């Protein structure tokens, strides 16, 4: 943080000396950060809870926290998975059955799964509380030999199976808006040597009870839909042809924006591989794209028909992970010699702002920014997240220092922050070294007048863990 420079004038030395403590006091007040109440969301009897199925961060946690403070994800039950280690294509490698959850107002609700001993996962919650994700359906995919999963929608205490189309056996829902439109992917039965599953993966839009194949770019065979905004625009990525490129080994892969029945190719920064990480309500898309030669990749912003290279922090690579509705962007970018740092970019800026790291860490990664300009992410050893951070008022602070929890939970990764300043992420219980193996999902709630009416954490010691309760309400399930 920059300190104000004081001009020393001999004639008023005494006045300057008196002014210095006042200036320092004002600076200390300016940099004061909000305290938080920590809620360990816990599990359904097993060791792990997840609030993102994407260990790399990026856009995988875009929709896990609602504007009203609801969090979604999945948590272990105590039930052994009968198919382990032959888990579903998109399931974490976990020996226990896990169920989708929603945390709201102190209650952790088991959203259930499709009938049978099945795992489920919630990927996204809309502003008004619609939840989508996937559930196993008790069948084994005859083509892939793994448990089948279907895209599902949780609404009003019921789980709705969105099914698949074109004869396929797999689907997954990644985003939903308050209109009830759902975006995701399904797998059909057509062989595709460049698909990770050996079969074509296609993007879908589900609305009014009908799943629609959104097609692909040009002559491509595989496409995925990852993000949707409140106006129904969808961002994803698609092969554009069937000819592999010499460096990537796969056909050209471009980000797209779909709206009103048309899929628009957003192009790349000269390379043959690019993908989106977020889509805001203004129709702006951010992500990562290879440069010419496919040896490096930069963060990009697509807006109003133009693709902009946001550059790096002096190194070769970077990616943009989130854009808010004012066009502020965060992500991570390489440094000139070693490591990568979180960055911030705002409209009008000519270069990325380096947000630094938590003291002692060589690397950091920014994952989310709200309209107040508060940024969250993780600071790390460049491999595993260790310190969840909040960047505000020009300063990065370890979120562990803003709570006084007696739970022992170390906050490792802050994935999302809403406009109320609530923060969702992953933490490490005592003895746990990896949040994606033994971690717990958490929520931080600001101790302010908007939340507890007192502006402090006296009732919860500035962050004492609040134990979430599992709901005992039954979940109605609509089979496929």
- Every domain of the chain and the residues it spans: 35-472
Radius of gyration of the chain (CA): 23
- pLDDT tens digits, 418-437: 999 999 999 999 999 887 78
Whole-number average pLDDT of the chain: 88
Of 143, 151, 135, 227, the closest CA to residue 186 belongs to 151
Provide the pLDDT for residue 475: 45
Q: What per-residue confidence (pLDDT) applies to 433?
A: 83
Q: Which residues of the chain have pLDDT under 50?
A: 1-30, 454-455, 459-480
Please give the pLDDT value at position 359.
Answer: 92
At 389 the pLDDT is 98
The Cα–Cα gap between 329 and 247 comes to 29
**pLDDT tens-place string over residues 171-189:** 999 999 999 999 999 999 9
Q: Beta partners for 186?
A: 171, 202
pLDDT of 437 reads: 85
The per-residue pLDDT for 25 is 33
pLDDT of residue 463: 34
User: Domain 35-472: which topology?
Assistant: Methylamine Dehydrogenase; Chain H (2.130.10)
Show Cβ contacts of residue 260 under 8 Å, excluding neighbours closer than 6 positions: none
E strands, 222-337, in order? 223-228, 234-239, 253-259, 262-265, 270-279, 285-291, 297-303, 306-309, 318-323, 329-334
Q: What whole-number distance in Å separates Cα of residue 212 and Cα of residue 73?
A: 26
Give me the residues paired with residue 459 across strands.
none
Q: Give residue for tokens 């004061």.
A: 32
Tell the residue number behind the tokens 């992420």, with chain if given: 425
What's the confidence (pLDDT) of residue 474?
39
- pLDDT for res 285: 98
């Amino acid at each position: 943080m920059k300190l104000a420079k004081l001009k020393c004038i001999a004639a008023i030395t005494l006045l300057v000396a008196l002014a210095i403590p006042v200036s320092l006091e004002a600076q200390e007040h300016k940099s004061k950060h909000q305290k938080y109440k920590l809620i360990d969301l816990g599990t359904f009897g097993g060791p792990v809870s997840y609030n993102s199925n994407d260990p790399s961060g990026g856009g995988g946690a875009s929709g896990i926290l609602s504007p009203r403070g609801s969090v979604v994800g999945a948590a272990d039950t105590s039930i052994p998975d009968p198919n382990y280690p032959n888990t579903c294509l998109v399931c974490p490698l976990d020996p226990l059955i896990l169920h989708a959850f929603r945390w709201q107002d102190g209650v952790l609700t088991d959203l259930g799964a499709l009938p049978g001993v099945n795992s489920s996962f919630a990927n996204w919650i809309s502003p008004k509380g619609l939840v989508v994700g996937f559930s196993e359906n008790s069948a084994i995919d005859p083509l892939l030999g793994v448990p089948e999963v279907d895209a599902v929608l949780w609404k009003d205490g019921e789980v709705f199976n969105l099914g698949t189309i074109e004869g396929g056996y797999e689907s997954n829902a990644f985003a939903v808006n308050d209109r009830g439109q759902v975006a995701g992917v399904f797998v059909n039965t057509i062989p595709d040597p460049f698909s990770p599953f050996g079969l074509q993966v296609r993007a879908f839009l589900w609305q009014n009870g009908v799943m629609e194949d959104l097609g692909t770019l040009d002559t491509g065979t595989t496409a995925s839909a990852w993000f949707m905004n409140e106006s129904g625009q969808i961002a994803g990525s698609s092969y554009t042809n069937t000819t592999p490129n010499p460096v990537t080994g796969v056909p050209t892969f471009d980000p797209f924006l779909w709206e009103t029945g048309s899929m628009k190719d957003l192009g790349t920064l000269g390379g043959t591989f690019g993908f989106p990480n977020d889509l805001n309500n203004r129709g702006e898309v951010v992500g990562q794209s290879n440069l010419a030669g496919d040896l490096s990749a930069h963060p990009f912003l697509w807006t109003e028909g133009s693709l902009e290279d946001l550059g790096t922090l002096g190194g070769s690579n970077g990616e943009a992970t989130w854009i808010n509705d004012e066009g502020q962007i965060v992500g991570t970018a390489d440094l000139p010699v070693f490591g990568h740092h979180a960055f911030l970019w705002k409209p009008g800026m000519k270069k990325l702002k380096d947000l630094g790291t938590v003291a002692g860490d060589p690397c950091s990664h920014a994952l989310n920014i709200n309209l107040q300009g508060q940024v969250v992410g993780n600071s790390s050893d460049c491999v595993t997240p260790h310190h969840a951070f909040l960047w505000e008022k020009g300063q990065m602070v370890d979120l562990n220092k803003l709570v006084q929890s007696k739970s022992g939970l170390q906050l490792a990764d802050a994935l999302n922050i809403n406009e109320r300043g609530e923060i969702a992420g992953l933490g490490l219980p005592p003895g746990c070294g990896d949040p994606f193996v033994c971690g717990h999902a958490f929520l931080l709630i600001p101790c302010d007048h908007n939340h507890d009416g007192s502006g402090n954490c006296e009732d919860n010691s500035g962050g004492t863990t609040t134990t979430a309760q599992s709901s005992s309400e039954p979940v109605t399930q609509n089979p496929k």
